Each structure stands twice: as structure tokens, then as C-alpha cells.
Chain A
Amino acid sequence: MSVMPAVSGVSGVSGARGGVPGVSGASPGLSGASTVSGVSGVSGVSGVSGVSGASEASDEVGEVGDMPAPLAARARLFPALVAVYRAQLSRARVARIPLLFVATFQSIGIMILMRGVVDGGSEARAVVAGSSVLVVAFVALNLLAQYFGQLRASGGLDHYATLPVPPSAVVLGAAAAYASFTVPGTAVTAVMGSALFQLPMTNLWILIAVIPLSGAALAGLGAALGLLAPRQELATLCGQLGMSAALLLGVLPAARMPQVVSYARDLLPSTYGVEALARSFDGQPDWWVVCADLGVCAGVAVVSLAAATWAYRRAAVR
């Protein structure tokens, strides 16, 4: 049906059956075109519609010199980061809680399985540490890669690209939100694991450093994968593969791995978080080595977040 402003003469009622059809003069308030009905006054074509203030450029002389208009202020990095973080955390609360449960149960399940394989000692420490960091990998790497892949595919990046925010604020805000969202799951896993394998819990406070550092490293990797993948499905796939790598290389005892695989293990950002956590289960941990591990983790985090920011820029400006 046409959406013409004209109101039809006898629409529906069909005046043609009754008598002379088509007598109407009412044109709806919105329309500019007036309806002429019946047979009279057809020539009274009126075209009065809201024309205003659109005269040609003559009154714009003041601007013809083309003085560039002042640019509005940029959003500063930290407030923008906080705004993104808050927004992400609120959406995470709604959408991600079930997934956090999945991640936690997965890690706990792995520990229960491994209890039949490893017999305490350093291997048990590695299993508990690996399972705890696996929760971080699940959320920060896998889910964040999915999020950015989907954001990019659905054109959601346009929204941020037309706001004056530093790219790093968007990437860091999202990464921080996902990383902090892993805290409860990681803590629960670490405590359960310690109980399961009778490991000392005195040094679990190290999680305060392990979660943000490995979270940042993995979130940066996840964001970069999500933003660089040419298609959304590939982003999801990369996230899943990254998580599988974290699972296999983090949880399985390193001593039993072939040489090549242990190189891959050294390349994975989460490895150093796992090592630091595993060492802290010792009675007298060598704090220098723990700090060195965490330092590597921090370095990797900086690199991977920088890569993610670069990937974001590349994805946003096509």
C-alpha cells in the first residue's frame, strides 16, 4: 500500500457502490502535499511544506574562509577506561555468570580427574595452579576473543570508532572487566584444589598478583585474536584453541612433555602465572623466582595488550 499523504476518497467504505465516490479533503497533519478530491479544484496544486532556513550558501560568508571548527575534547584515557570497564562489568554480570560456573566446574572436574594420575608433590602443585589459571584463560582469552570477534562482525566497533576514545581505553577496559570477572572462579578453584591435594593455602594471597597479570596477558591475546580474525567464526575458533592450549600446556605436568611441546609451553602467556602460583605452594617458596615469573607475566601482558590495541586500531579504521 502506498504511504502517500493523500487520504483516499472512500477507501474501504467504497463509496462507489453508494453514490459518487471519492470526496475527501482531509490531509493528515503530517503531510505537506494537499489532497484535492472530487472533480473540482484539481489545479490547486499546493506544495507548502516545511521549508525553512535552507537558503543557499550566501549567508554563510563568515564560514566560507573555512576556518576549521574547534574539535570537542577527547575522552581521557583513564575515565574512558573506567566507563568501558563499568559497562562491560554490567553486561558481564547479566550474560556471563553461567559461563563462569562452567569454567569453574571444568577446572574442578579436571583436578578431580588428575587426582587419580598424579601423586602429590610438584605435579599436584602444577595441576592445581594450571586449573586455577585455566579459569582465567577461559574467560579472558576465549570469551574475550568471542566478544571482540562478534563486535567486529556486527559493526559494533563503529560505535566506539565514532566516539573520541583512545583505542587502548576500549581494549583495556574490556580486558580488565573480563579479567576481574574471573576472580571468584579462580579463587574457588585454587582453594578447592589445595584442599583436594592437601596443599598449604598460606600463600594463596599470591593470586592477587597472578590473576591480574595473567588475566591481562591472556585478555590482550584474546582481544587481539578476536580483532584480527578475518571472520567471526575464526575468532571463536582461535579463542577455543587458545584455551585448549592453556589447558593442555598448563595443567599437564611439564616434565612429561616432549621437547617441542615444552617450547610451546614457554611461549604461552599463562605459563608464567601458572609457574608463579605453583611455586607459592612450596613450604618455603623462592620468592625471587616467583617474582621473576610474575615479571615475565607482566612483560607479556604489556606486549599482548599493545598488540590488542594495535589490532583494534586496524579493525576500526578500514
Chain B
Amino acid sequence: MVCTVRGLVKTYPAARGRRGAPATPAVRASDGIDLDVVRGEVFGLLGPNGAGKSTLVRQLTGLLRPDEGHVRVLGHDLVRHPERAARLLGYLGQDSTALDELTVALAAETTARLRGLETRAARAERDAVIEELGLGEVAGRPLKKLSGGQRRLACVAAALVGERPLLVLDEPTSGMDPVARRAVWAAVDRRRAERGVTVVLVTHNVIEAETVLDRVAVLDRGRVIACDTPAGLKALVADEVRLELVWRTEPPLDVPEVAALWKTVETARAGGGAAGRRWTLRLPPDDARAAIATVTGGPAFAALDDFTLATPSLEDVYIALGGRAEGAEGLVKA
């Protein structure tokens, strides 16, 4: 067991209102979290904005002291000895500004030196990680002058230098293009394969979550509402499929079958009056088949622009588990 969390509670205290700034209530950002992460797995934390993902990983890395509960990482009690975290794990914060004025190469080298490497080893690691992540072209430029995705990639580079058995990455690929993202996942995977490195990461990208993660914990309002393999989570809703219908303008609610479908619509978006032009339905396969027959034949067909039928994704799981509806939007930030 690389990482064990039991009964973790963290409340941000209420802030009194100052002039111009309204008072904010206390926020229970971790509300009794239990987690187990085993060696060599890529463990994902998924959830809407404000779910408490960053708060959780900051407690895993000894940066934030929990109000209650235990955090054990590689056999060390990090609540009692938070300073040991720096010698056990590599951390990438959600927004990292400490390196902003350094060049990419110097940021990686300095971080390696501060992880305790000798000068020569630090330079070798610097060159290796710059090569690995394809940062060669921007290596001599200060982070501040890079694009958002490049800067993030440089921060990932700094997080990866110096061997650590556990990597904790808070949204490592946010803002990156597919090539950069693939480079990051390849680098993470290589460390896992070659050295058995364990990775705990926060992500909003559902597609990525399905492909790179071994297990996923879905967080909502400071609680873990589900924790399983992506396939296991999808099995929770596997007896349903998702049907999306797009109407050209107004949905033809005067057609009785369509009016019946409208009652089961889960979300409706994008204009088109009260009913919305874009419908998402979650149905048993037979019902979905019947629904498609209805909308592709008969009078409704004239109003239909497009339809999609898909097996459930993690997003569907999230919604089925009772995540907030507006949170579902936040889940898909890519």
C-alpha cells in the first residue's frame, strides 16, 4: 500500500466580511475521505470544480494539515511528520508560480538540485526530461514568456526530475495540446513501468481518465462518491445507453412519442425554447432502439438534425452517481 487515507476531514474556516468583501461561510472541503492507493497504479481523482480534489492532494503532500484523520504514505505518518513528504514524493501544484522567471532548463535543474541531486546528476536529469517531454525548443526561454500549455509542461518537467516512488500531480495536463498530453502520459507510464512509480493525479478530462487511469475516485463536495476501475464504474450504469438527439429548431413535441421521450430527457441545452434543441437521454438498450425508430421514421424525422448513441462514459457514471448537474459541466473542462 503506497498511500492510505482514513477519515480525512478539512474545513476552511469562515472568513469575516471586510469592507467590500462579503463574508464567506466555512467550507468542509474534505468530508471524511478514505482512500487506498496500491503500488504501481495510476490513481485518478475526478470531480467538479470545488469538489475538494486539490485540498485532498495538498493534504497528501503535507502542505495542508487535516483537521481529523490519517494520511500514511509509504509507511510514514504525514499528519505527524509533514516534512517527510518532500523526501517521499514529487508534487505538481495546480498553479505553480515559483519557477515563473526561470528558464525551462534552469527550472528543471534547480528543482533537481533541491531534490538533493549532485550537480552532474541534476544536469543529466534535466537534459533527459527536456528531451522526454519535447521541451528542447523552449529550454532556454523563461517560463513567463511561454504559452500556457508549454509552461505547464515545463512545470511537469520540474515535478518529474529526481526519482521519487510517488508522484502527486494536480491537473498535470491542463491547457495542453494532444501531443504534449501524450508526452506527459508516456513519461508517467514509463516511470510506472520501469521503476514501479505510483501516481496520484487530478484530472478533468474524462477521456484521459478512461485510458490512463487504473482506478478512479470520484469526488463531490469533499466526499468520495465512487471508487473503482473505469470499467467497474461504467458497469454501474452499463445496463443503460446514452442517446443524444439534436433537433434542427423546435423539438416536435406535438408528436406524442416525442412528447413521451421529452419526459425522460435528462438534460436539454442550446436554445430551442423551453424544451432545448439538444437532448440527452439515458435509456435501457431496448427503449433506446425504440426511441431511434420513433425519431428516424414518421413525422419527427423532419425535425431531427442528428443523433448519437453511445455506451456510458465516466461522465455518465458521474451523473448517475448523483453529482451536481452544474458540476457535470465542470467535469468536462477540456
Q: Are B61 and A33 in contact (CB under 8 A)?
A: no
A47-B238, A57-B38, A318-B63 known; A69-B97 Cβ under 8 A: no
Q: Which residues of A contact B275 (CB under 8 A)?
A: none
Do the beta carbons of A162 and B97 come within 8 Å of each other? Answer: no
Q: Are B116 and A74 in contact (CB under 8 A)?
A: yes
Complex alpha-carbon distance, A60 and B2, angstroms: 10
CA distance A248 to B58 in the complex (A): 44
Among B82, B119, B285, B309, residue most surrounded by chain A Cβ atoms (within 10 Å): B309
Q: Given the complex, which residues of A lie within 8 Å of B53, measured CB to CB?
A: none
A3, A8, A38, A54: the one contacting B215 at CB < 8 Å is: A54
**Chain A residues near B74 (CB-CB < 8 A):** 68-69
A165 within 8 A of B: yes
Does A200 sit at the interface, judged by CB under 8 A? no
- Given A69-B76, A155-B93, A156-B98, the answer on whether A64 and B210 have CB atoms closer than 8 Å is no
A-contacting residues, B120-139, CB 8 Å: none
Determine the distance from Cα of A6 to Cα of B311 in the docked complex, in whole angstroms: 8
Q: Bound complex: CA of A75 vs CA of B115, how far in Å?
A: 6
What sequence of 0s and 1s flags, for each residue 307-334 of chain B, a beta carbon within 8 Å of any chain A beta carbon?
A: 1111111010000000000000000101
In the bound complex, do residue A46 and residue B311 qualify as a contact, i.e. CB atoms below 8 Å apart?
yes
Cross-chain contact B306 with A22 (CB below 8 angstroms): yes
Q: Is the CB of A9 within 8 A of B308?
A: yes
Residues of A contacting B: mostly: loop
- B contacts with A, residue count (CB < 8 A): 95
Tell me the complex Cα distance, A15–B110, Å. 56
Q: Closest CB-CB distance, A212 to chain B, in whole Å?
A: 23
Contact A11-B306, Cβ < 8 Å, known A39-B289, A68-B76, A160-B114: yes
In the complex, which residue of chain A has the Cβ closest to the Cβ of B301?
A16
Q: A90 and B103: CB pair below 8 A? A: yes
Q: Does A117 contact B (CB under 8 A)?
A: no
Q: Tell me what chain B mostly uses at the interface: helix, strand, loop, or mixed.
A: mixed
Indicate if the CB atoms of B84 and A71 lie closer than 8 Å.
Answer: yes
In contact, B309 and A14 (Cβ under 8 angstroms) = no
Q: Which of B86, B239, B306 touches A15 (beta carbons < 8 Å)? A: B306
- How close is A66's CB to chain B, nearest CB, in angstroms? 5
Contact of B311 among A16, A34, A87, A162 (CB under 8 A): A34
Contact A35 B102, beta carbon cutoff 8 Å: no
B39–A63 contact, CB under 8 A? Answer: yes
Contacts of A72 in B (CB 8 A): 87-88, 115-116, 162-164
Is there an interface contact between A63 and B1, defined as CB atoms closer than 8 Å?
yes
Instruction: Determine if A35 and B41 form an interchain contact, defined as CB atoms under 8 angstroms apart.
Output: no
Docked Cα-Cα span, A84 to B72, in Å, equals: 30
Shortest distance from the beta carbon of B68 to any chain A beta carbon, whole Å: 16
A-B contact pairs, 9 of them (CB 8 A): A7-B308, A33-B312, A35-B310, A39-B293, A48-B231, A49-B229, A79-B113, A158-B58, A160-B98
- Taking Cβ atoms with an 8 Å cutoff, the residues of B that contact A are 1, 36, 38-41, 58, 61-65, 72, 74-76, 82-91, 93, 95-99, 101-103, 106-107, 109-111, 113-116, 118-119, 142, 162-165, 205-208, 210-215, 229-232, 234-235, 238-239, 241-242, 244, 248, 280, 285-286, 288-289, 292-293, 296, 301, 304-313, 315, 332, 334
